[in-house]
Chain A
Amino acid sequence: DGGITQSPKYLFRKEGQNVTLSCEQNLNHDAMYWYRQDPGQGLRLIYYSQIVNDFQKGDIAEGYSVSREKKESFPLTVTSAQKNPTAFYLCASREITGRSNTGELFFGEGSRLTVL
């Protein structure tokens, strides 16, 4: 079955440590996204990428970094510079070309990061 796989689902880290969240998709989608979700605030865009080796900052990119070396992979690193990293992180993808562009985002199951 096609879909988006995020790992790990739960992650605990000490303050000051960098952590990397994995996102892999086998939907052959061009665009991939990272969102942060906090209670009562909806989803906020961290980074997005429309093509391999290219990505753009979203609304809350400070303290985060990404890479897009392969079409199917878009890992997110939460660095020690992120002042409040405890949150639920969601990876998404969508097709952006031609008839396959149905518009919607497809989401992974999420990764919950807790910084102690």
Chain B
Amino acid sequence: AQSVTQLDSQVPVFEEAPVELRCNYSSSVSVYLFWYVQYPNQGLQLLLKYLSGSTLVKGINGFEAEFNKSQTSFHLRKPSVHISDTAEYFCAVTVGYNFNKFYFGSGTKLNVKP
């Protein structure tokens, strides 16, 4: 079975600083990768996704992620964070065209301080 590891459960960062949230998945062919954001007591909202093509993916709110097949990673980055980016971020992986089963990481709480 596929597994997804988010190495940091919490990431504190000051406003306007860069941030990287790490995500690694277990090796497999034909993986499709997603990053979601969750604000308190709300559902998950898609930030970005990698299905194919360019390994550098740009998403909403200035976030981007890079798919690295050799390192089985899909780290999320933002060059300058805002207070409003404080939320929990989830990496997700699905395998195969049918996308039947999504595997989620345990989440990373990003805390942006003024």
Interface residues of A (CB under 8 A from B): 4, 6, 9, 31, 35, 40-45, 48, 50, 88, 90, 92, 94, 96, 101, 103-110, 112
Interface residues of B (CB under 8 A from A): 4, 9, 32, 34, 36, 41-46, 49, 51, 90, 92, 94, 98-102, 104-107
Q: A12 → chain B, closest Cβ, in Å?
A: 15
Number of A-B contacts (CB under 8 A): 58
Partner of B105, one of A42, A96, A103: A42
A-B contact pairs, 15 of them (CB 8 A): A6-B43, A42-B105, A43-B90, A43-B102, A43-B104, A45-B101, A50-B100, A92-B44, A96-B99, A103-B34, A103-B94, A104-B34, A104-B46, A107-B43, A109-B42
Known A-B contacts: A42-B105, A94-B99. Give 19 more (CB < 8 A). A40-B9, A40-B107, A41-B106, A43-B44, A43-B102, A50-B100, A88-B41, A90-B43, A96-B98, A96-B99, A101-B99, A103-B34, A104-B49, A105-B44, A105-B46, A105-B92, A107-B43, A110-B41, A112-B41
